[in-house]
Amino acid sequence: MSTLNSPNMSAASPAARYIGQSVTRKEDQRLLTGHGQYVDDVSQVGMLHAAFLRSDIARGTITRLDIAAALALPGVYAVYTWADFDGVFGEAWHGMLGEMLQVPPPLAITDVRHVGDPIALVVASSRYVAEDACDLIEVDIDAAQAVVEFSTAHLDTDHLVHGAWGFPSNAMVEQPFTSMSPDLDQTFADALHVVECSVRQNRYVCVPMEGRGVVATYSQGRDELDLVCSCQSVHETRNFFSRYLQIPEANVRVTARDVGGGFGQKMFVFREECAVVLASKLLGRPVKWIEDRRENLIAAPHSRNEQGVVRLAIDDDQIIQAITIDHIADVGAYPACPAVINPQLLPGPYKIPRLGFAMAMVWTNTMGKGAYRGPWMFETTAREMAIDHAARTLHLDPIELRRRNLLSAADLPFTSPGLQEFSEITPLETLEQAIAMLDYPAFRAEQAAARAEGRWLGLGCCVYVEPTSMSGPTLATEGATIRVESSGKVVAHLGTTSHGQSVETTMAQIVADTVGVAYDDVTIVQADTQSTPYGPGTGGSRTAVVAGGAARRAGEVVRDKIIQIAAHQMEAEAADLEVVNGAVSVKGTPARSMTVKEVAALAYRFAEQLPAGMEAGLEATVRFKPTRFPTWSNATHLCVVEIDPDTCVPHVLRYIVSEDCGRMINPAVVEGQIFGGVVQGLGGVLLEDFVYDANGNPLTTTFMDYLLPTTTEVPVIEIGHIETESTTNPGGYKGMGEGGAIGAHAAVANAVGDALAHLGIHATSTPLGPNDIHALLVAAGHG
């Protein structure tokens, strides 16, 4: 199912030969044959291998650290502790986050603050020997009571996560209740219905299939650092290590040819990377560190783990007049990025006119928080679970309640009480498309019949808007350099760092259409700071809009120059020429033509034949900035589950997404992003749950305990598209990489909740796996 709303297609748009087509991916030949180049596939001459000794205590003081036996082991080159790195490095902040948020010290100084806190770094001839040496380090830690439960951590002044640094509270940020609407209190006082709902979203984590990793090569004579790393932004990593090592940016080269997933986890720079870089500098040898799975689970940035009490004021026409949230998020001990709810987004795609919020971020003795696909997504989880809760409480139809309050295209432009300006979105339209795909009345009839048979069927809904391509520090722009080589082949150098988003493919589609050449004749170069323009990183659903805008604008300049050269050569009017499939011809008279290769020959080899005053060569560099921020996309998710009353196992029977990401560059890529995001959100409800015990010991440190969805838990996912073009960028695109993960959590949780509702159960917290469902049943007297 697909509709196209195209308000802004200009006559000057290039012929879309590739844009809109599910062309095969440029990445695939190498990746399918085992010839990708991930960080662990890289070797350097003289390279050594690193392993970290990490704390198995959540909070405590290091009382003894003896590395003598480890150092004596044959094959060990160095064992570093904090004393070795103290004073060796400079500034430790990331451009997107600013100087206020420091990357923590590369190794623990006097005390440990979470399990996994790195204490020592061993560098040895192999990873095997390095791990042997870790076992030989003797460390004593005087353990103290850990702070684990986040919802009360800010009230605990006896146990302070960062007490050693003088912080008197576990609250990193505490914002008191803020009303965005002067009549908020009166509205709640006057409302026919006030529904309160406490929503808690569990801790689940990115789990890229490739963990973090780095190969650091410091050249002492040149003061140069060559860094191969598994990251989402080579340029911000370069800028970071320029400051960290106090050498010019040009002395740091960062590359990431293939990256095995990131989902936000690899957006920033890690203390482990700092430690390995310092080790390479001190040793004068290349050093490789490849994170193992246990490390990735316990010591790579965590995510979610937020709760909020949502209040809704609802009038007698089922119109939601106000929404508030009292929110608190766990950011762990050392947040890589304190990515939590953006309360301004709480009203989401609804016409709710009033808003208020309080929020807090608290430190705990657990792994620090980082970004994960839709880092602010708790606003969607909280709102959508609260709306379902309100519908159940007031005996309203949850779809009808949403229908009466959602924005539709006819309501736009609309400014929300959170001061978000919406246009070019279709929330109500996606809801209607999704419920048509489901056949909503038929489902409710089937559900009623199933309940009569003792079967528990449920439907969950989630509607959201996704702020994509945001401005923020560093994120507003992308650069592109596009060059037609003397062979006629085209190369585009982009600032992106793909970690699975098919960037080479989609950007090549844009370049091929814009310049007017074959897709196979376009090469994308990215993720190499030495040859590509600055880019802040691939994340935040921004590549199509921002990098795509840069590729388009640079391509237009190149195409125009091709036409100018050809017009001069062919003695034709430039306005009469077009570039199609590698040939410049007179429109309507394809026989009068010359190839782009011939034009390129003039540009480079026979420049004396160029028009007077024209610069030789055939390339352009552009930095592109969208006309507005953010670029909004939107979607509706529907999920149908059936819970087995005997085993409490929830099975997802159907999953439907109706989404609007503007013009699609490559529908298979769009759908692939949705599929993957949905399954991550689904996993976070039904299977994935990162658990600490009361002492801060992580209990889910393998894939036997931290359960990821597999082929047998995932249904066929059905997708409908509405394509409302965005005017923030010339292609009409909207970002969409995170939406699947944003919408799925609430949709799946609401489906489980609906399946249990007739038993008098209000499920408003996740996870909702079999154990959790069983506990709810027992609590409701159905045990």
Catalog residues that contact another protein under the rule CB under 8 A: 22, 24-25, 27-29, 31-36, 38, 40-41, 73-75, 128-129, 132, 135-136, 207-211, 258-261, 263, 292-293, 499-502, 668-669, 671-672, 675-680, 702-704, 708-712, 714, 716-717, 740
Question: Which residue's CB is nearer to another protein, number 31 or number 777?
Answer: 31
Question: Which residue's CB is nearer to another protein, number 296 or number 344?
Answer: 296
Beta carbons of 201 and 378 less than 8 angstroms apart:
yes
Helix, strand, coil percentages (3-state) for the chain, rounded to 5, are 30, 25, 40
CB of 387 to another protein, least distance (A): 25
The alpha carbon of residue 755 and the mean position of all alpha carbons in its chain are separated, in whole angstroms, by: 30
Question: Which residue's CB is nearer to another protein, number 171 or number 707?
Answer: 707
Work out the burial of residue 759: count CB atoms within 10 Å of its CB; fewer than 13 is exposed, 13-18 middle, 19 or more buried: middle
Question: Which residue's CB is nearer to another protein, number 132 or number 754?
Answer: 132
Spatial neighbors of 202 by CB under 8 A, at least 6 apart, are 304, 305, 684, 689, 690, 765, 766, 767
Residue 512 is given by DSSP the state I
Question: Which residue's CB is nearer to another protein, number 163 or number 676?
Answer: 676
Sign of CA dihedral 741, 745, 748, 754: negative
Spatial neighbors of 185 by CB under 8 A, at least 6 apart, are 179
The candidate with the shortest Cα–Cα distance to 36, out of 259, 310, 263, 279, is: 259
Question: Which residue's CB is nearer to another protein, number 31 or number 691?
Answer: 31
One-character DSSP codes across 76-116? EEEEE-HHHHTTT----B-TTT-TTSBPPPSS-SSEE-STT
Spatial neighbors of 219 by CB under 8 A, at least 6 apart, are 225, 226
Beta carbons of 205 and 298 less than 8 angstroms apart:
no
Question: Which residue's CB is nearer to another protein, number 294 or number 597?
Answer: 294
Residue 52 is given by DSSP the state E
CB of 660 to another protein, least distance (A): 20
> Which long-range CB contacts under 8 A does 30-38 form with residues at least 24 apart?
30/258, 31/258, 36/257, 36/258, 37/257, 37/258, 38/210, 38/213, 38/230, 38/257, 38/258, 38/259, 38/260
Question: Which residue's CB is nearer to another protein, number 28 or number 615?
Answer: 28
One-character DSSP codes across 538-558? S-SS-IIIIIHHHHHHHHHHH
CB of 121 to another protein, least distance (A): 18
In angstroms, the CA 410 to CA 19 distance is 28
CB of 221 to another protein, least distance (A): 29
In angstroms, the CA 394 to CA 404 distance is 15
Question: Which residue's CB is nearer to another protein, number 126 or number 246?
Answer: 126
CB of 222 to another protein, least distance (A): 28
CB of 10 to another protein, least distance (A): 30
Sign of CA dihedral 403, 405, 409, 410: positive
Sign of CA dihedral 152, 154, 155, 160: positive
CB of 639 to another protein, least distance (A): 13
Question: Which residue's CB is nearer to another protein, number 349 or number 677?
Answer: 677
CB of 702 to another protein, least distance (A): 6
Question: Which residue's CB is nearer to another protein, number 1 or number 83?
Answer: 1
CB of 71 to another protein, least distance (A): 13
SS3 30: helix
At 77, list the tokens.
């080159």
CB of 20 to another protein, least distance (A): 15
Beta carbons of 312 and 386 less than 8 angstroms apart:
yes
Question: Which residue's CB is nearer to another protein, number 429 or number 671?
Answer: 671
Question: Which residue's CB is nearer to another protein, number 207 or number 601?
Answer: 207
CB of 231 to another protein, least distance (A): 13
SS3 519: helix
CB of 436 to another protein, least distance (A): 21
CB of 155 to another protein, least distance (A): 37
Question: Which residue's CB is nearer to another protein, number 420 or number 526?
Answer: 526
Residue 611 is given by DSSP the state P
Residue 300 backbone dihedrals phi, psi, to 5 degrees: -95, 150
CB of 316 to another protein, least distance (A): 42
Work out the burial of residue 737: count CB atoms within 10 Å of its CB; fewer than 13 is exposed, 13-18 middle, 19 or more buried: buried
SS3 434: helix
